[in-house]
Amino acid sequence: MKKHISFLIMNMEKGGGTERVTSVIANKLREKGFIISIISCRNGRKSLYPLEEDISLLSLEGEKISNSTIRKCKNVISLKRIVKEKKIDILIAVDVALYIYILPLQKMKLCKGIAWEHFNCHITPNGLVGISRKLATRYADCVVVLGKRDYNSYLKKYPKIKKIEFIYNPIALNLETSANINVKRVIAVGRLDEQKGFDMLINAWSRIEEKVPDWKLDIFGEGPLRKQLQDQIKNLNLKNIYLKGYSVDIEKEYINSSVFVLSSRYEGFVLALMEAQAKALPCVSFDCKEGPAELIDNGINGYLIEEGNEREFSEKLLELLLDEKLRKKFSENSRKDLDRFNIEKIIEKWNRLIVTL
């Protein structure tokens, strides 16, 4: 009998790297012959990203995840009903915070539970997320992390973890097309929140904008800090930074750029950085834990900058914008070792994990 795999996610109607990679993994596992469904914690049965026709989109009847004890109980009851009705074998929490809703169903032996960690374990969350992570390390049938470094960090921090695997996010872009490194455009991609550090990126850009007046910086993404960032751009009197919102075709935006920048304060595994490299983009990134150093070989295919050092960030970015030969060198080296993110290899790791549970 085919196993039924279901992904529990906050909201598939939201645009972002987590939602996009979930759609990719779900589609490929469906090709492997599994029954696939996606359960949204927010009211809504749509996905911003394409899904195979026979992948079911479900929701917890509009129950919003919160710290309310009554609400949490309602979420578990709704999830239990869905698991029993749909005969779900394995539930994957697409965010370790959501594992707390799967654990009771594991205890009832209704399904297996996987916690898919998208942040690095050096970030110690409080409240529900922190509790859920600790429970996942003890009770989840497997915790899946996104990189080798985080795998080692998890083992060190949680030596009694029940089971852990690292499975990279896959490259789901066409590798036959490359960025045009002569286009005078820098691109950044991510949610407009504190984590992504766009305030630091704007400060760094303010140091160099007058020196490269024919270049522009486009930031793709949405989030709660849009107005704050827009005000920062205005207060610094910057003319060539644009908050572009979501893009449903981010691949096109990579191709029409010359440099990718990452200003995050922390990351798990940086999907946007990997995709930028897949499009042969030179990259400049803060060396935040854990992701960028797994992808950028400093001085070979990009620059790794000391965390939070806006001055160094602006200096290295300016160097790259002014030196076409350097951009070409980084571009030629950007696809180094990307074969480990091949979609078929990634799906095979997921497949092996699922069939052994």
pLDDT digits (tens, 9 = 90+) for 154-170: 999 999 999 999 999 99
- 3-state DSSP assignment of residue 199: helix
What length is written for the chain? 357
What are the φ and ψ backbone dihedral angles of 93, each rounded to 5 degrees?
A: -80, 110
Q: Which of these, 15, 30, 252, lies nearest to 7 by C-alpha position?
A: 30
Task: Name the band, by pLDDT with cuts 50, 70 and 90, for residue 125.
Answer: low
Q: Which two tokens stand for residue 17?
A: 């790297």
The string over 84-122, giving b where at least 16 C-beta atoms fall within 10 Å of a residue's C-beta and e elsewhere, is: eeeebbbbbbbbbbbbbbbbbbbeeebbbbbbbbbbbbe
Please give the Cα distance from 112 to 109 (Å, whole number).
8
Predicted structure pTM score: 0.82
Average pLDDT along the chain? 91
pLDDT tens digits for 237-272? 999 999 999 898 899 999 999 999 999 998 877 889
Q: Given this model, what pLDDT does residue 124 score? A: 65
The tally of CA atoms less than 13 A away on the side-chain side of residue 312 is 12
Q: How far apart, in whole angstroms, are the C-alpha atoms of residue 55 and residue 70?
A: 30
Domains of the chain are 4-170+342-356 (3.40.50.2000), 185-339 (3.40.50.2000)
Residue 6: pLDDT above 80? Answer: yes
